[in-house]
Amino acid sequence: MTWPWEIVERDHDLQNPTSPEKIRLLGEYLRLSSASRVLDVACGKGGPALILASTYGCRIHGIEVRPTFADGARARIAAAGLDELVEIQTGDAAEAPLEPEAWDAALCLGAAFVWGTIADAAA
């Protein structure tokens, strides 16, 4: 069965309620560099990961539960020549063994619902 967002967002390069300029500004605020490691939960088709990796040279590990989106992210990242910097994992982030100390920053843009409630996402 096709997930509704796969239809609604099929033509969106950036699936989040933001813009490339704001993603770059976020990277600036976070002081990202080529030494930074970023976790992108519910990374969708890899829009923010692509922008941050190409702008700051940081390493990004994205996790996306929807195979269609994860495959799209991998294709976009390969086309941009960023597969050395960005890795996309297909799976449920809530079940992934993530070590908080492994990341300089973590993102979950426009998808806090993956954790259940807003309180769960903030915990």
Does residue 9 carry a pLDDT above 80?
no
Cα distances from 112 to residues 27, 43, 67, 106, in angstroms, run 19, 11, 19, 12
Q: pLDDT tens, 22-80?
A: 999 999 999 999 999 999 998 988 999 999 999 999 999 999 988 999 999 999 999 99
Model pLDDT, residue 96: 79
Model pLDDT, residue 98: 80
* Across 112-120, average pLDDT: 68
pTM of the model: 0.82
Cα Rg of the chain (Å, integer): 14
Model pLDDT, residue 123: 60
List the domains of the chain with CATH numbers: 17-122 (3.40.50.150)
Model pLDDT, residue 112: 67
Q: How would residue 113 be classed by pLDDT, with cut points 50, 70 and 90? A: low
In total, the chain counts a number of residues equal to 123
Q: Is the dihedral of CA 42, 46, 48, 49 positive or negative?
A: positive
Model pLDDT, residue 39: 95
Selected residue with higher pLDDT from 3 and 73: 73
Model pLDDT, residue 64: 92
